[in-house]
Amino acid sequence: MSHSENCIFCKIAAGVIPSRKVHEDDELFAFHDINPWAPVHFLIIPKAHIPSMAQVGPEHAALLGRMMVLAPQLAKVQGCNPYPAGGFRIVTNTGSEGGQEVHHLHLHVMGGPRPWLRG
Q: Does 35 bind ligand AMP (CB under 6 A)?
A: yes
Which partner in ligand AMP, Zn ion, none is near 68 (CB below 5 to 8 A by kind)? none
CA dihedral over 74, 23, 99, 62, signed as positive or negative: negative
The interface region with Zn ion, picked from 5-13, 20-28, 57-65, 107-115 by CB under 5 A, is 5-13
Active site residue 106: yes
The amino acid sitting at 21 is K
Q: Which one among 47, 104, 106, 108 touches Zn ion, defined by CB under 5 A?
A: 104
**Among 38, 40, 61, 55, which residue's Cα sits nearest to residue 94?**
55
Q: Which one among 10, 13, 19, 75 touches ligand AMP, defined by CB under 6 A?
A: 19
Per annotation, catalytic residue among 41, 103, 104, 106: 106
**Cα dihedral: 106, 6, 31, 112 (round 10):** -60
**Cα dihedral: 11, 73, 109, 51 (round 10):** 40
- Residues of the shown chain interacting with Zn ion in the complex, contacts defined by CB under 5 A: 4, 7, 9-10, 49, 104
